[in-house]
Chains A and B, each alone.
Chain A
Amino acid sequence: MIRSPFVRGAREAAGIPAAVLVAGFLGFGALAASQKVPLGIAVASTAVIWALPGQLVFVEMHTLAAPLAVTVLAVMLSSARFLPMTLMLMPEMRDPRHRAWKYYLVAQLLSLSGWTMAVARFPQIPREERLPWFYGFTLVLMATSALSTAAGYVGADRLTPGAQLGLVFMVPMYYLLILVGAVRERIAALGLASGALAGPLAYLASPEWSVVLGGLVGGTIAFLALRMWGRHA
């Protein structure tokens, strides 16, 4: 029996890749509930922003009552990684048999987990099958994440206060592990260290500007340190 590439992609996603996202988005749902963001907004953000750091910035800055333009700027700055990711992946999926709009739509479905898997699997997939395979893979990830957001949100209201705290705590734990796991890269290590220091300090100075301020100051310090480090290496 020959399965379509779309179905094969979907089946590959329904396992470890989806399970990891369940952990992050359950926590995000619970966090959104505790910060009094409506359920519809929380679930929609998973499809509309589709980047957990950006969604986190969105929810946290809403809580801090940050100005609209500052929130949009912070979300935008937090999502910059998508440009190099699409730049690298799109040429790999191009095939004259697929219509152009399908590529603009698939750009919205791209996420870090989808990208990582695509980079690893594409060499074994014929070029014309890559786009449908990627659609199958990423749609399962997005659907699972949206359901997990709703489950975390609804669950947070029904659990005991202790379990509720555990659920909300999943978000910082998710990123703590991902980020600490990434420190082997020099850019990541410097950006993480100076960002981790600058974030709380900026919060003391100005809560509503803290995300953008801490990111710009911490990121620029990391960037300068990287240049000096590179010169002496």
Chain B
Amino acid sequence: MPELWLLLALCGLATYLWRGPGVLIAAGIDPGSATFTWISCVAYAIIAGLVSRMLVMPTGALAETSLLERTACSAVALAAYFWVTRRNLFVGVLAGAAALWLIRS
């Protein structure tokens, strides 16, 4: 798997390109600029697109669950997070996972 290690190293480097310059440049870039707003819109869209695709059209293990099951378990996680625990992320995630486990076993 040397190719996968190379890919990982490049991906790490690509991430560091955003981390490193912040050390060098003390100021001078305006986080409220149009370029920055566009970049954060794209970053949000990437992760939202990935997650919604994982829920609507999953690949791998989740592909064997039905859309109805995934929707119902997402609702359980959202309810546990927003209403039952007032934004306890750990409990919300566990509730969704436990719901899918219970349905499937």
Contacts and interface: CB of A to CB of B under 8 A. Distances in A.
Contacts of B103: 162
Interface residues of A, number: 106
Contacts of A211: 46, 49-50
Interface stretch (A122-130, A138-146, A198-206): A198-206
Given A41-B4, A173-B93, A176-B78, A218 B45 contact: yes
B91 to A, nearest CB: 9
A51 B47 CA distance: 12
A179 interface: yes
Nearest first, the 9 A-B pairs at minimum CB distance are A199-B49, A86-B22, A195-B45, A191-B44, A162-B105, A219-B42, A195-B48, A166-B101, A215-B46
Interface of A: 16, 19-20, 22-24, 27, 31, 34-35, 37-38, 41, 44-45, 48-51, 53-54, 56-58, 60, 62-64, 68, 71-91, 94, 103-104, 107-108, 110, 160-181, 187-188, 190-200, 202-203, 210-212, 214-220, 222-223, 226
Interface of B: 1, 4-5, 7-12, 14-23, 25-27, 29, 31, 36-57, 59-62, 64-65, 70, 73-74, 77-78, 81, 87, 89-90, 92-94, 96-105
